Structure 1
Amino acid sequence: MKRSGAYAWGVAIAALVAVLPLSPVRAQSAEQDALKPTLNDGYDTPDALRFDWPAFTIGTGQYEDGPTGLTVFRFNRKVLAAVDVRGGGPGTVNTEYLGIGYPFPELDSVVFSGGSWYGLEAVTAVNTALKDEGYRGGNWDNVGLTVGSIIYDFGGRRLNEIYPDKRLAQAALKAAVPGVFPRGAYGAGRSAVSGSIFGCNAHSGQGGAFRKVGDLKIAAFTVVNALGVVTDRDGRTAACYPDKTWPAGFRTRDILAGTPDSGKPGWTGVAPSAERKNTTISLIVVNQKMEPWELKRLAIHVHTSMARGIQPFQTEFDGDVLYAVSTAEYEPADDKRIGLLDIGTITSEVMWDAILSAVPPQPQAAFEAPPRRAVDATALRKLAGRYRFSALAELELKVEDGRLLGQAVGERRVFGIPKEAAVEVIPTETGDYVVPGRYPTVLRFDARGGLTINPGRWQQHGRKRGDR
């Protein structure tokens, strides 16, 4: 059969495309498609929150190659919900509908996700999964309703732009279980940070707390990705990478009082952070039956109270959202009913507990070079080369005058290794290599041509070009 000219051109173009290198966009798409989900990580850790409340289940999903993730809360029947949206950059799905305040329960699930705007796919994915599994249908009185919000966890937090997608969201929904919530760098909080306003750039995560007062149950969940710093009840900063010029024993009030100088060269010697895309997304759940207006006021009360635990809070660079849910399982007589003011006060304290529990252990940074390990020139030369972390980030290592030097050559810097000039990568007695500075930059090589930067919960893996 005779082939048309168009067909021939199509074959030729397809052959050409097959041998061309992937563009950054196509390369990132290929990375996304090859990801393997990790479900319910951290559920068996000592720090996980455990509580008795079968009215809802919680599932988390993570892509460790990010790392990034999401958290799904699924209620076992439709519940009444309200929302309070603050800050200058919220990213949400279906919050305007909750804001209307209809007096009947409609909400099925809440989703928190990383991945910035791209993570909103996870919210709609959970809702379609409710229909696909037959739990919800299409009749007007049986349509599923899922709401959700995202945090920004790109940029300097990691060296790629992997995001929580539909596949991960639906897997987390299926994996959801009652009564357990992992705290720290899990789920949607996998690559969260806090304190960027002062250059703290501390690792953060998701936190949760539970309290029972008589038959009243209260749970609070939050993902702290705030511009402000997490602050404990004694006024101490819970997590921060301070500049070496900062005074010993500083408190949150000290750096707040020093604004704007505390974020500029002079007072601290540190320029304001360039990455001001931050969000704290939260959920409170109570079992007492409440009216829509009560639930709305509860959301406002608790959301406002969070400014004690995150300072400053709800800035123009934060996209803070708080959802409030009543499962209506507990409907006490008037003489036993706990009033809205008391519930709001108790829940505010529970939320502060949740905020503090979001802070994971921080990797150590070294301002000064640690003791140097002697490495012969041949071993150093074997490490030299270009390492690829993603379509956006590569690291060039070379040997000069017996020293190993590193320089970022992709679109972004590689943590403490800049693009503008090469810096020394120092071999240490532990076998790792470090770049001294305010923030951790640790390099660990393996025998197969791999390089891991900052081994641990926030590690990034690269491969030397030319190796398989």
Structure 2
Amino acid sequence: METKMGQARTRGMVAAAAAAIALALTGAPLAAQSPAQDALKLTINDGYGSPAALRFDWPALRIGTGQYEDGPTGLTVFRFDRRVFAAVDVRGGGPGTVNTEYLKIGYPFPELDAVVFSGGSWYGLEAVTAVNTALKDEGYRGGNWDNIGLTVGSIIYDFGGRRLNEIYPDKRLAQAALKAATPGVFPRGAYGAGRSAISGSIFGCNAHSGQGGAFRQTGELKIAAFTVVNALGIVTDRDGRAVACYPDTTWLEGLKTQHILAGAPASGKPGWQGQPMDASSSMAEGPASGEKKNTTISLIVVNQKMEPSELQRLAIQVHTSMARGIQPFQTEFDGDVLYAVSTAEYTPPEDKRIASIDIGTMASEVMWDAILSAVPPQPAAASETPDRHPADKATLRRLTGRYTFSALAELELTVDQDKLFGKATGARKVFGIPKEAPVELLRTEAGDFVVPGRYPTVLRFDDRGGVIVNPGRWQQTGRKRGN
């Protein structure tokens, strides 16, 4: 039998080998790549008091959200007070799900306990199984074959250019959100699983997005729709207008989504002026540049009892209808998933039963409302020629140095001829600050520094030797080396 000293030696050798491999592969130590998740600051049910939060009367459905502010990234948990009927419709080229295959069998009895939406790409799937184990740990479910908990869930991709780190929602965050689940309120916008979502990347819109919700009651029938819009396509209203987009400076005023679609693929390239271009043009060389990891994950809930076949058609009909509000939808770079749930609380007599086709039609409109409500207010990008408010030399000297955001992202600030310049020196650029060459940072009247361009890049310095990029709901904090 191995001694304790031998075991400790073995563990040390394994840890040293892992660190050496990490350093060889990435140039960064293992600890820098994998931050201690249990040390991260979490917020639970953020935004529940916001005027934009959806409020509705449905005690059988409780919702909890959790966020890691250092991401920022988060998750959303939907918990039912009884087992419910469920179906699923999975589309797009890159879905990430747990337990969806079981829902496709269509058993004629309720089994589902909870649905989880999470950021963190496939790493965030840990949140789904964590909620299920929490149901057992709290004694709500057990080990008997007829009392096994069933939680399903899906993830969105919120890494890459959306933020400068790879923090992901985990077991700790998921179980805290489940414990805090509350009926009758759902925060809309940049909360929960939608905290770092974006939309419209296919055309370079790169608009901030989030999670949306809507509710409708007709007589005794209740319909609720929830969605996290991290779509490649553009969120579009019922008049055909793009709800949120950072347009290229060459775009004409008043363009609708249909005009942008008609101009594809040229409309996804810099310099497009609002007119379709000849297919032979050098501007028409495939999809838009940038990230192509996107997903819209959705949940539709009704209280009327529905047969498994009806619930499946509801999922398909509502999911198909979402192509009106997100254009284009369900592309090869989207991992779209929709869950349809019947709580079966309401079983009307046959003469008062609302037909499933009518429920599908109403639910499709409620879901469009949910999509539109997912879009938060957009930060303004700096103009090409902002007013200059030069900083004094002492201030500029104080700001120079290297700022670290994570093992992946670092920013170097230098001064040249009384002007401040920034250059990304890590593995990736820092939003509008490139790696190739320094770019001038222009000081605003408020004392911030900005990079003019299509997308917001704002730098705000604090008194503790740090810099906040894009202050607000999506901010990233870097610490100056040596502080």
Q: Which TM-score band (shorter chain)?
A: over 0.9
Cα distance, 1:71–1:6 mapped onto 2, change above 3 Å: closer
Q: Distance in 2 between matches of 1:368 and 1:28?
A: 36
Q: Distance in 2 between matches of 1:5 and 1:321?
A: 50
Q: Distance in 2 between matches of 1:266 and 1:244?
A: 8
Equivalent in the alignment of 1:193 = 198
Cα distance, 1:384–1:256 mapped onto 2, change above 3 Å: same
Equivalent in the alignment of 1:104 = 109
2:265 to 248, 260, 265: 260
Aligned to 1:326, what secondary structure does the other structure show?
strand
Equivalent in the alignment of 1:228 = 233
8 Å CA contact retained: 2:84, 2:113: yes
Matched, 1:418 2:434: yes
Aligned to 2:309, what secondary structure does the other structure show?
helix
With the length of structure 1 as denominator, give the TM-score of the two structures: 0.95
Deviation at 1:265, TM superposition (A): 3.7
Equivalent in the alignment of 1:57 = 62
Cα distance, 1:54–1:11 mapped onto 2, change above 3 Å: closer
Matched, 1:401 2:427: no
Aligned to 1:285, what secondary structure does the other structure show?
strand
Matched, 1:278 2:283: no
Q: Distance in 1 between matches of 2:176 and 2:139?
A: 16
Q: Distance in 1 between matches of 2:15 and 2:120?
A: 34
- CA distances 1:403-445 after superposition (whole Å, capped 9, x unpaired): 1110000111000001111100111111100000100000000
Q: Distance in 1 between matches of 2:314 and 2:345?
A: 17
Mean CA deviation greater in 70-79 or 259-268? 259-268
Deviation at 1:15, TM superposition (A): 12
Give structure 1 stretches of 5+ with no counterpart: none
Deviation at 1:379, TM superposition (A): 1.3
Deviation at 1:267, TM superposition (A): 1.8
Cα distance, 1:108–1:10 mapped onto 2, change above 3 Å: closer
Give structure 2 stretches of 5+ with no counterpart: 274-282
Q: Distance in 2 between matches of 1:184 and 1:265?
A: 29
8 Å CA contact retained: 1:24, 1:392: no
Letter in 2 for 1:337: R
With the length of structure 2 as denominator, give the TM-score of the two structures: 0.92
Matched, 1:457 2:477: no
Deviation at 1:6, TM superposition (A): 7.2
Cα distance, 1:325–1:7 mapped onto 2, change above 3 Å: closer
Equivalent in the alignment of 2:306 = 290
Equivalent in the alignment of 2:351 = 335
Equivalent in the alignment of 1:376 = 392
Q: Distance in 1 between matches of 2:7 and 2:79?
A: 51
2:330 to 300, 310, 314: 314
Matches within 5 A, 1:108-127: 108-127=113-132
Deviation at 1:30, TM superposition (A): 2.9
Q: Distance in 1 between matches of 2:172 and 2:5?
A: 40
Matched, 1:148 2:153: yes
**Structure 1 segments of 4+ aligned residues over 6 angstroms from their partners:** 3-17, 19-22
Question: How many residue pairs align between the two structures?
Answer: 464
Q: Distance in 2 between matches of 1:186 and 1:374?
A: 36
Equivalent in the alignment of 1:387 = 403
Deviation at 1:24, TM superposition (A): 4.4
8 Å CA contact retained: 1:369, 1:426: no
Q: Distance in 1 between matches of 2:14 and 2:6?
A: 12
Mean CA deviation greater in 8-17 or 287-296? 8-17
Cα distance, 1:24–1:67 mapped onto 2, change above 3 Å: farther
State percent identity of aligned pairs: 77
8 Å CA contact retained: 2:35, 2:167: no
8 Å CA contact retained: 1:28, 1:162: no
Equivalent in the alignment of 1:243 = 248
Deviation at 1:32, TM superposition (A): 2.1
Letter in 1 for 2:70: D
2:360 to 344, 348, 357: 344
Q: Distance in 1 between matches of 2:6 and 2:144?
A: 48
Q: Distance in 2 between matches of 1:299 and 1:31?
A: 39
1:182 to 184, 187, 200: 187
Deviation at 1:364, TM superposition (A): 0.2
Letter in 1 for 2:104: G
Q: Distance in 1 between matches of 2:150 and 2:253?
A: 50
8 Å CA contact retained: 1:75, 1:108: yes
Deviation at 1:375, TM superposition (A): 1.3
Cα distance, 1:295–1:8 mapped onto 2, change above 3 Å: closer
Q: Distance in 1 between matches of 2:230 and 2:12?
A: 49
Letter in 2 for 1:35: L
Deviation at 1:11, TM superposition (A): 11
Letter in 2 for 1:395: L
Mean CA deviation greater in 80-89 or 366-375? 366-375
Pairwise CA RMSD: 2.3
